[in-house]
């Protein structure tokens, strides 16, 4: 599944931010889904909740914006925009 790779990459990036900030917990994550990305917002949320189990992101609120610009350089991916941590 292609979405599994997207989610794994997203979790890794989120946890890297958490480590850089000595976070105890990730409370919120904001992402942008490109217009041509192979995953929708609801599907991303479902996969994120499952993949986050046992990580610092477990229980974090996932805020998703979907781009409608197919010409954007990030139009085929999921772009991490921000991570809200608790230290």
Task: Output the pTM of the full model.
Answer: 0.86
Give the per-residue pLDDT at 1: 45
Query: Which domain covers residue 47, as residue numbers?
Result: 2-86
The CATH number assigned to the domain holding 24 equals 3.30.2320.50
Q: Could you report the per-residue pLDDT of 34-69, keeping only the tens digit for each? A: 999 999 999 999 999 999 999 999 999 999 999 999
CA 59, distance to chain mean position in Å, is 13
Domain total in the chain: 1
Which pLDDT band holds residue 2 (cuts at 50, 70, 90)?
Answer: low
Give the per-residue pLDDT at 58: 95
Give the per-residue pLDDT at 87: 87
The CA-atom distances, in angstroms, between 23 and each of 12, 16, 19, 54, 55 are 14, 10, 6, 15, 12
Mean per-residue pLDDT of the chain:
92
């Amino acid at each position: 599944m292609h979405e599994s790779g997207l989610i794994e990459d997203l979790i890794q990036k989120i946890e890297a931010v958490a480590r850089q900030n000595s976070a105890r917990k990730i409370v919120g994550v904001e992402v942008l889904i490109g217009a041509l990305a192979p995953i929708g917002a609801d599907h991303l949320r479902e996969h994120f909740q499952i993949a986050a189990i046992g990580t610092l992101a477990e229980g974090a609120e996932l805020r998703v914006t979907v781009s409608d610009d197919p010409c954007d350089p990030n139009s085929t991916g999921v772009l991490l925009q921000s991570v809200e941590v608790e230290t």
